[in-house]
Amino acid sequence: IDHENGHGPLAGKRVVITAGPTREPIDPVRYISNHSSGKMGYAVAAAARDAGATVVLISGPVNIPVPVGVEVRNVLTAEDMLRESAVAVDAGCDLFVATAAVADYRPETCAGDKIKKSSEQMSLPLVRNPDTLATIAAREDAPFTVGFAAETSDVARYATEKLQRKKLKMVVANDVSTPGMGFNSDNNVVTVFWPDGQEAIGPDSKQQIAARLVALIGEHLDRAAD
């Protein structure tokens, strides 16, 4: 594979991708997170690189080697993810792809010391996290923005609703309740929605899904530039 691909569908494009889960600290030894493995995002980063793009990957904590030729910036919390994404987009970005499974809420405060157990029940106040994808898409100089939508029901309805609400160019929907697909799996099956069309991809490996997704984005990027 030619990592200096001057002829690929994303040749010369600057791409920023978020991937993996975020971790929201509760106290020095505990956090809120989710089952995201980061595999889909890392596959999209490698596919964008193979398509000729310069790729910056804003990554939550995952156990995946850094893809050759991709610049990785590691983050932990949703707030870190927004900050690092904004820095990367400020530096120049044609395409922003948000694959990260960002925690929607974080503990209102992080306890300085380990919380000791006491009563039979406890409540933990949570506050909303910033939405990296919506924030980037709302910029006046917004790049071509692509979001993911992991759903367990009414996939098409929720996905198209996210497309409109977040003002995205495309949303990649997957039904995470499908056995063997999505979270933590090596395989996936998705439907890509854009304002006037859709395409089903897979079931296939996340690498193959990412390659087709990048090709599809390439076609639409050119259309947007015409």
Would the annotation count 104 as a binding residue?
A: yes
Q: What's the distance, CA 32 to chain centroid?
A: 18
Contact partner at residue 100 from ligand CTP, Ca ion, none, CB < 5 to 8 Å by partner kind: ligand CTP
Question: What span, in angstroms and rounded, lies between the C-alpha atoms of 122 and 116?
Answer: 11
Q: Which of 175, 123, 165, 119 is nearest to 145 (CA)?
A: 165
Catalytic residue among 5, 34, 74, 187: 34
Binding site for Ca ion (CB under 5 A): 104
63 assigned to active site: no
| Pairing between β-strand 71-74 and β-strand 54-59 as defined by DSSP bridges | parallel
Q: Provide the minimum distance between the beta carbon of 91 and ligand CTP in the complex, in angstroms, as a whole number.
A: 18
Nearer to ligand CTP, 8 or 166 (CB): 166
Query: Is position 114 annotated in a ligand binding site?
Result: yes
CA distance 182 to 188: 5
Q: Say if residue 116 carries a ligand binding annotation.
A: no
Q: What residues line the site for ligand CTP (CB under 6 A)? A: 18, 78, 98, 100, 102, 104, 129, 131-133, 147-150, 162
At 195, the amino acid letter reads P
- In the bound state with Ca ion, the residue whose beta carbon lies nearer, of 111 and 126, is 126
* Nearest one of 41, 37, 44, 54 to 3, comparing CA atoms: 54
* Separation in Å, CA 190 to CA 112, 195, 220: 42, 17, 18
Residue 104 CB, nearest approach to Ca ion (Å): 4
CB closer to Ca ion, 104 vs 204: 104
To ligand CTP, the closest distance from the beta carbon of 34 in angstroms equals 9
Decide whether 27 or 104 has the Cβ nearer to ligand CTP.
104
Residue 96 partner contact from Ca ion, ligand CTP, none using kind-dependent CB cut-offs of 5 to 8 Å: none
Pick what 80 binds: ligand CTP, Ca ion, none; C-beta below 5 to 8 Å, kind-dependent. none
The H-or-E segment that residue 174 falls in is strand 170-175
How far are the Cα atoms of 23, 32, 102 from residue 36, in angstroms, in the given order? 11, 12, 9
Q: List active site positions.
A: 34
Residues making up the binding site for CTP: 104, 114, 148, 162, 166
